[in-house]
Amino acid sequence: MNFATKALHGVSCFDPVTGASSVPIYQASTFHQADLDAPGLYDYARSGNPTRHALEEAIAVLEGGARGFAFASGMAAISSVFMLFSAGDHIVVSEDVYGGTFRFLTQVLSRMGIEVTFVDTTQIHAVENAIKPKTKGIYLETPSNPTLKVTDLAAVCRIAKKRDLLVMVDNTFMTPYYQKPLELGADVVIHSATKFIGGHSDVVAGLAVTKDEALGKQLYFIQNGMGAILGAQDSWLVMRGLKTLKARLDVGTRSAERIAQWLSQHSAVKHVYYTGLCTHAGHQIQVNQASGHGAVLSFDVGSRERAKAVFDRVRLPIVAVSLGAVETILSYPATMSHAAMPAEERAKRGITDGLIRLSAGLEDTEDLLRDLAQALDVLQTLRISDEKKTFSRA
Amino acid sequence: MQLETKLVQSGVGKDERTGAINFPVYYATAYRHPGIGESTGFDYTRTGNPTRAILEEAIAAAESGDSGFACASGMAAIHTTMGLFSQRDHIIVSLDLYGGTYRLFEQVLTRYGLWFTYADLRDLDAVKSAIRPETKAIFVETPTNPLMQITDLREVALLAKEHGLLTIVDNTFMTPYFQRPLELGADIVLHSGTKYLGGHNDVLAGLIVTKGTELSEKVKFLHNTIGAVLGPQDSWLLLRGLKTLALRMERHQSNAFAVAQRLLEHEAVTEVFYPGLSEHPGHQTHASQASGYSGMVSFRVRSAEQVPVVLQNLKLISFAESLGGVESLCTYPATQTHADIPQEIREYVGVCDRLLRLSVGIEHPDDLTADLTQALDASLVTGGQLR
């Protein structure tokens, strides 16, 4: 079954009791037990809720894993997965991870005795060099946020397998429609389902899928034990989003490709980051391991002042934190998604003060291009040398 | 303003544009920024959501705290709070305790170098002697789940203060309607909002209330960073529940008295645990720190063989995990809520296989006592060999 069909007819897509075309929302916290010796399918909604369960099964099928789990947010999914490790363990992490992940690792998990090394995972030897005797896992984002660096998933998984390390991949930017890390050798896939999977800027949710049942059991224990689960109504909204994932991504990706091409020829733009551009350093690996380039791109206009001028002039995109929605969203990583990262760490990762991230929505591409054109026009009067003034202010 | 009034008025008048009496459910995850470096006060829903904020303000006000935080479940609230501690920190915990909390502490947090001593908090000397240089907090349930043991909150909070420890109280059984630990000296109050606060067995939620700016800021950081936040629809359901909290708690309590009395009289029952009974050993202490006794009643039958018969014969009262809803529920702690506590510890504490826990709902008391009576009667006939 192809992706689009599987998303609609895979599993849990209708209610087995009534045949209803949409799984009902079980707003129940507890379930009556008919017999002390024969516990029912569900007992307490933190441990299992039929609506959440339907979503968990659906994502497991789409990612090609054994078990799926739904969490209260992408960060709840990430923090729960990291609880698979214990004090004394060491984890190798992509250096340009999402700012919230960076914050959790450096300010919460570090206090629990877990050591993290951030490396440029696009360099396979750098990953190998970072592995220590107590290393237990590798955590990847590919393409990374916001400069879309591409890590060779199969290559990293081969190294990990040799040393018995767990590979975790944040697949938020790609979704299983474009990339299936478990098929490339990863052990756990994580999503901020708030983004493309939910897709409508109306629900905060996280998902995780394990490749095998044994790891699934461990993660289930943590999900139930820590309790950072997704509510029934929100589970239903995410499932509703899943049904149109392919259609939305097809459109968003097409627009992103056009916009990236157009921006890369614009004189006011210093650099464009999009894996679909053949000049992008990770283009070839991306083509090999994913079936699409996604709807997110970043571009650098040179300085904070120039970025601000663009934000002040655009009319169509929502200026906001988040991405992956039906609406085009423009964000400013330096103070939004990566605000939790110290300035020097940001600079190291190319998250400059001129960097703007665009998540292409479902608006007409020509309308988006016209809007960006009028906003970028203003930069003709602002020289890139204004950068210095901005840096001293920051 | 009295608590009932505060609770009913939660969110009223807050939606200035439309005047809607009930605050709307904001499903938005992201909020349009007026420009770079400008914010409406809301940026991203994990960090802050308008509907969740109304709930968080309401619970903070009800508990006389400074800040409230809504989490995905009661366990998520406990877990988020435990993020305050670091490797090697030590925490003293009520010996009788909800099994899920015990499981989180013993099977997850110990792996991160946190360590726990379970003490009978009724005995202040036992608490004192458990304090070590690494101790950072005392975690209290009062009444405890399921044995309804009463801890003197003022004394424990005072002792904690003397030693520079945080006092954390799980106030799920009492709710702020009956007991406000922050007014008695505690620093943090936790709730499984799934229970009385939600009150309808229809929403999972957890709440944290903190006292003091510094502590509030720390928990705010953890709440956003760990991300186990409550969704907007669930926040709204909880707010809806809060509005009738006072009415429900009064009815839960009067029904619980009726049920406890009936249980005391029944020959199939050997002990009844309800802090409202004057013979309950913690009755006086509880009366000095709370304004009511809530709706939780535990009891022991004569033999374990009676348990399945009672559960099978209950018609009105559902055999299910959880508590605090309008519907009456009966739980068997040994295999349900406390299944994760090793048997020898469970039995040492008193959570034996003859113990049943009732969450008394708001049905008519006569129907509840009749249902219990017939189920207990049946257990005497078919439960076979007594003793």
Mean pLDDT of the region B66-82: 98
Peptide bond into A24 cis (omega under 30): no
Which chain A residues contact residue B30 at CB under 8 A? 201, 318, 320-322, 325, 329
Look at residues A114, A375, A359, A390 and name the one whose alpha carbon lies nearest to residue A255: A359
Size of interface A-B (CB pairs under 8 A): 216
Give B299-319 pLDDT, tens digit per residue: 999 999 999 999 999 999 999
**pLDDT value of position A141:** 97
Q: Which of A87, A231, A237 sits opposite B113 (nearest CB)?
A: A87
| pLDDT at residue A164 is higher than 90 | yes
Mean pLDDT over the full length of chain B = 94
Higher pLDDT pick, B372 / B30: B372
Annotate A313-331 with DSSP letters as a single string.
Answer: H--SSEESS---SSS-EEE
Give A313-353 pLDDT, tens digit per residue: 999 998 888 899 999 999 999 988 888 888 888 888 889 99
Contacts of B328 (CB under 8 A, 6+ apart): B316, B317, B318, B358, B359, B360, B361, B363, B368
Peptide bond into B281 cis (omega under 30): no
Structure tokens at B358: 């009732």
Mean pLDDT over the full length of chain A = 92
Annotate A237-261 with DSSP letters as a single string.
Answer: HHHHHHHTHHHHHHHHHHHHHHHHH
Look at residues A238, A188, A214, A200 and name the one whose alpha carbon lies nearest to residue A65: A188
Look at residues B249, B277, B69, B72 and name the one whose alpha carbon lies nearest to residue B177: B249
Q: How confident is the model at residue B199 (pLDDT cuts 50, 70, 90)?
A: very high
Q: How confident is the model at residue B252 (pLDDT cuts 50, 70, 90)?
A: very high
Strands B355-359 and B329-331: antiparallel
Q: How confident is the model at residue B128 (pLDDT cuts 50, 70, 90)?
A: very high
Interface confidence, given as ipTM, is 0.84
Burial of A56 (0-12, 13-18, 19+ CB in 10 A): buried
Query: Is B234's CB within 8 Å of A104's CB?
Result: no
Residue tagged active-site, from A98, A177, A178, A273: A98
| pLDDT at residue B214 is higher than 90 | yes
Annotate B355-383 with DSSP letters as a single string.
Answer: EEEEE--SS-HHHHHHHHHHHHHHHHHHS
Shortest distance, CA A333 to any CA of chain B (angstroms): 11
Shortest distance, CA B341 to any CA of chain A (angstroms): 13
Give A105-138 pLDDT, tens digit per residue: 999 999 999 999 999 999 999 999 999 999 999 9
Percentage of chain B beyond pLDDT 70 is: 98
- Report d(CA A152, CA A156) in Å as an integer: 6
Query: Is B201's CB within 8 Å of A87's CB?
Result: no
- Report d(CA A338, CA A347) in Å as an integer: 11
Shortest distance, CA B279 to any CA of chain A (angstroms): 32
Mean pLDDT of the region B77-95: 97
Give A67-106 pLDDT, tens digit per residue: 999 999 999 999 999 999 999 999 999 998 998 999 999 9
Annotated active-site residue A195? The verdict is yes
Q: Which of A28, A107, A322 sits opposite B202 (nearest CB)?
A: A28
Give B322-347 pLDDT, tens digit per residue: 899 999 999 999 988 888 889 998 99
**pLDDT value of position A17:** 73
**pLDDT value of position A35:** 80
**pLDDT value of position A10:** 65
Shortest distance, CA B103 to any CA of chain A (angstroms): 7
**Searching chain B, which residue's CA lies closest to the CA of residue A306?**
B36
- Report d(CA B156, CA B127) in Å as an integer: 8
| pLDDT at residue A386 is higher than 80 | no
**pLDDT value of position B73:** 98
Instruction: Give catalytic residue positions of B.
Output: 46, 98, 170, 195
**Searching chain B, which residue's CA lies closest to the CA of residue A26?**
B202
**pLDDT value of position A56:** 96
Which chain A residues contact residue B108 at CB under 8 A? 83, 222, 225-226
Percentage of chain A beyond pLDDT 90 is: 78
CB-CB contact of B293 with B253 (8 Å): yes
SS3 of A296, please?
strand
β partners of residue B359? B296, B329
Entry pTM: 0.89
Query: Is B229's CB within 8 Å of A72's CB?
Result: yes
Q: Which of A29, A227, A320 sits opposite B32 (nearest CB)?
A: A320
| CA–CA distances in Å: residue B286 to residues A206, B137, B149, B185, B276 | 42, 22, 9, 15, 9
**pLDDT value of position A338:** 84
**pLDDT value of position B386:** 47
Span of A8-22, A193-207, B243-257 with lowest mean pLDDT: A8-22
| pLDDT at residue A394 is higher than 50 | no
Annotated active-site residue A364? The verdict is no
Query: Is A107's CB within 8 Å of B33's CB?
Result: no
Higher pLDDT pick, B34 / B283: B283
**pLDDT value of position A347:** 84
Mean pLDDT of the region B73-94: 98
**Searching chain B, which residue's CA lies closest to the CA of residue A204?**
B29
Give A166-218 pLDDT, tens digit per residue: 999 999 999 999 999 999 999 999 999 999 999 999 999 999 999 999 999 99
